[in-house]
């Protein structure tokens, strides 16, 4: 397998409502690419998440591009995730794409998205 396959597609907080970003990883010069979801309540702003992810991925030899952001509401008790909102700086991520990625990790969850602000 490639090193890219070793990068976890989803890293989000286990509980709560928090900001998230959708990031596209790419080998310089094209070739393989992968979209990953990162979200945490520790980030006050969306760019805080990107500023953490970007150097990690650059060390692995990938270029990062933020495809937008939003919020994730993660209810682990009811096994529900709601994706909504947007990032002021990066714009709105394609939440439907985010949901597809989340479904791979949280297979037994009900995962929905909307363009609602809150």
Residue 68 lies in a domain: yes
**From CA 29, how far away is CA 26, in angstroms rounded?**
8
User: Of 4-8, 10-14, 15-19, 67-71, where does mean pLDDT reach its minimum?
Assistant: 4-8
Q: pTM surpassing 0.85?
A: yes
Residue 5 lies in a domain: no
Annotated binding site for substrate: 19
Catalytic residues: 46
Give me the CATH number covering residue 79. Answer: 3.50.20.20
Domain count, the chain: 1
Residue 97 lies in a domain: yes
Percent helix, strand and coil across the chain, each to the nearest 5: 25, 40, 35
The domain of 65 spans: 10-114
Residue 3 lies in a domain: no
Give the pLDDT score at 105: 97
CB 84 within 8 A of CB 70: yes
With CA atoms as reference, report the closest residue to 38 among 51, 113, 29, 88: 51
Tens of pLDDT, residues 36-73: 999 999 999 999 999 999 999 999 999 999 999 999 99
Residue 1 lies in a domain: no
Residue 38 lies in a domain: yes
Give the pLDDT score at 2: 63
Annotated binding site: 19
Provide the pLDDT confidence category of residue 25 given band limits of 50, 70 and 90: very high
Tens of pLDDT, residues 73-83: 999 999 999 99
């Amino acid at each position: 397998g490639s090193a890219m396959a070793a990068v976890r597609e989803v890293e989000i907080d286990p509980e709560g409502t928090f900001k998230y970003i959708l990031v596209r990883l790419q080998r310089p010069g094209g070739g393989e690419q992968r979209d990953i979801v990162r979200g945490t309540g520790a980030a006050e702003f969306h760019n805080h998440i990107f500023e953490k992810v970007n150097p990690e991925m650059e060390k692995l030899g990938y270029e990062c591009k933020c495809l937008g952001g939003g919020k994730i509401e993660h209810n682990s008790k009811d096994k529900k995730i709601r994706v909504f909102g947007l990032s002021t700086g990066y714009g709105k991520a394609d939440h439907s794409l985010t949901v597809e990625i989340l479904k791979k990790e949280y297979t037994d969850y009900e995962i929905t998205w909307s363009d609602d602000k809150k």
